[in-house]
Chains A and B, each alone.
Chain A
Amino acid sequence: MPQITRLIQLIEENCREKGFSENKIIKIVALVQTTLKQGLPEKDDLESSLETIGALK
């Protein structure tokens, strides 16, 4: 759907504006895309994703 594409585009733009690394951007986008495809992540999976994102520059 065009709205989803636009959301990803906005996330990427906002990440770049913040100076996040490409690796970090990929992880944030992946979290959103996985949620849209598979539903809400389990708490443990989410914590693990967020820890990885937080550790990246």
Chain B
Amino acid sequence: MKHKIVFLFFFILSHFSFLLAQNRTISGYIIDSRSSEPLISASVFDEQSVKGTVSNHAGYYSITLPQGKISLRCSYVGYVIAQAEFTLSQDTIVNISMQSATELHEVVVSASRREFGVQGSQMGAIDVPIEQIKNIPTLFGEADLIKALQLLPGVQSGTEGSAGMYVRGGGPDENLLLIDGVPVYNVNHMFGFFSVFNPDAVKNVTLYKGNFPARFGGRLSSVVDIRLNDGDMQEYHGNITVGLISAKFNVEGPIIKDKLSFNVSGRRTYADVLLKPAMWIISAVQTDSKIDAGYYFYDLNAKLTYKISDADRLILSHYMGDDAIYANMRYKETSSLMGTDSEKMKLKWKWGNIVTSLRWNRVVSPKLFMNASLNYTQYRYNLGLGNEIIYQDANNQQNNRFQEFQMSYKSGIRDGTAKVEFDYAPTPNHDIKFGGGYTFHEFRPDVQTMKLDATGNYVQKIDTTMGNPTVYANEMAVYIEDNMTLGSIFKMNVGLHYSTFAVQNEFYHSLQPRLSMRALITQNFSVKAGYAYMSQYIHMLSNSSVSLPTDLWVPVTARIKPMNSHQISTGLFYEFTNLLDLSVEGYYKTMNNLIEYKDGASFWGNSTGWEDKVNMGRGWAYGIECLAQRSYGKTTGWIGYTWSKSERLFDREGEMINNGVKFPAKYDRRHDVSITVNHKFSERIDVSVTWVYCTGNTGTLGLQQYTGLEEQQVEFEENSYLYAPELSYISSRNNYRYNPYHRLDLGVNFHKKYKKFGSRTWNIGVYNMYNQKNPFLIYTSYRDSYDGNGNYYSTKVLKQLSIFPIIPSVSYTFRF
């Protein structure tokens, strides 16, 4: 049956050509007028034929229209509408140059979320303007892309302050985060409190949380498509920001005007640098010991765009980022009586990503656009620890001792991908995308080495390497999708994604149909529905709530099957022209072969026997998401509300969790509200406010205590007694709900434009303005009390740990 569908699909496509006789194609790039930066998802619409399209990730568009009079209208959020009228008689290249509204000091900027809003067939997706992301007040004033996405309906954060994403009831490893089309495996800095994406380097962010177009695959729950700035082809400019915990810069400009541009962004925290004086003081005060320790993270984004010709472009983009903890300690004590005792310790702990992509964009014909790419991505984690002890006894050489110890731990994942994709617009009613790719995965699970060389009064030599062998896997995917217009009312995106995964003598494959449909009831109101089947071949072994560098990606095995999900969704979309976009979406998702840790199991970087620590089961997630978004005028932002439920069932023979009874997922939350408002009071001042409220997370508590079986115990020293342990009775997993989470953040920007050169912005922010003590962790403990009569007693209490109180922040940005 599946083969018949594929055949029918290609049969229809092959017969388009005869329909094209009276049509001509308009194509070209849509660019920013000042920087020549391509604009992604800009809308091109012919008012005569009422047909439209949007630009792709390279800013390229192609629309095939009947010959005759054309009234072309191009719109993009934050830009002034560009319009052109002409008579179409032959294939025509129209490069559209759009002017930023800010540049013209215009207030009313028309835009359209055509593809994701009322007009488009796509649902469950949203573009978040990067300027809005930068303005959202955040922890320590660090603008954060993932934290901005967490404010959208259907997306939840993990614990307080974390950059983990849980989309429509899925887990954190079910999100595909792409930088210029290349996956990033570890998206967190500082144990998950910040994400690796530097907003200064980002041009466009699109989040898909359902109804995935066929070009995406490999994860169950979401796709975050992040596109980096290409670089200004006309002039040099940039910015420098100094914030509370980090400093960053962004520079871009032409290397060869209108031919070759660059864009470089960097960010680094400097807590370690600021702590250096403290280290020096400690070292100076304690003459016998020296210490140098610190933590930092950095990101570096670089991109070169070379315009070979009007038809060809080469783009080389690179990202690298690391977190690092280091410590060097020395201790030396010398006395004439005892001798010399010295010790050195060195710790180097580093983890991070490298993502590189070389793309070739070619306009093969006005109707056909090609994007070929070679991609490389890796996540690596290295821990090195060394220790040297020298003891020289002044009185007895037999007591002399020398010990040198070195230990290392390494793990990671590396992918190499070759991919080619095409955009083909044969008729006004069809926008076809097809392509395929091959990925070679190298999973490097944990490898530990240890070397010990001890001589003197204690002799021991160890030189050993342990760990798991590298696992190689081959993944292949092909897809085809057609975004087709069926009359003036219906539009649908229908596609197929086929993928294979070969690993260790196992071969898995999956044919995944995708469908999105729209019925345009009025020009401002549409109804949409869709279906997506997704498959995922890799898992992340993680210790739940906090992102740790030890999180390890592993492939499916003979026993652990690929995860898959079916998602159906439907929605209503309404647009108040130039005022507000409203949407209400409902979804129902089933997930299969999910993995969950067994009771008591944990993962701390050792993948040995990981299959024995997890069980496979099923999951359900369903909910309703409401979004009112305003992208125009002085006041922008959104109000989002989500009602959702996410459940798990692990009832397979030998794979039971919670006695085979359904239980709520870890981040199952019934209500989630977020309000984000940015108001521009003047050219000099704008204010952003964010308020979030959500139902508390679930956790597992033993609500009754009881005694277990008695057993004879023998202590180390000749004691034998009967002992019955005190145990906790846990009625079910995730049986307790934490207190609700809510928080208000505020950010104020003070801008000033210097007459001679550049401009500056002071940003003052307050995170958690009313100092709400939100739950990070709940546990039982004891509280000592005094009864006033000389008696102290201890009572057992429930305690909540909160980690982020009110936190002010300030940053300074200079733009030139």
Q: Does A pair with B? A: no
State the A residues within 8 Å of B (CB): none
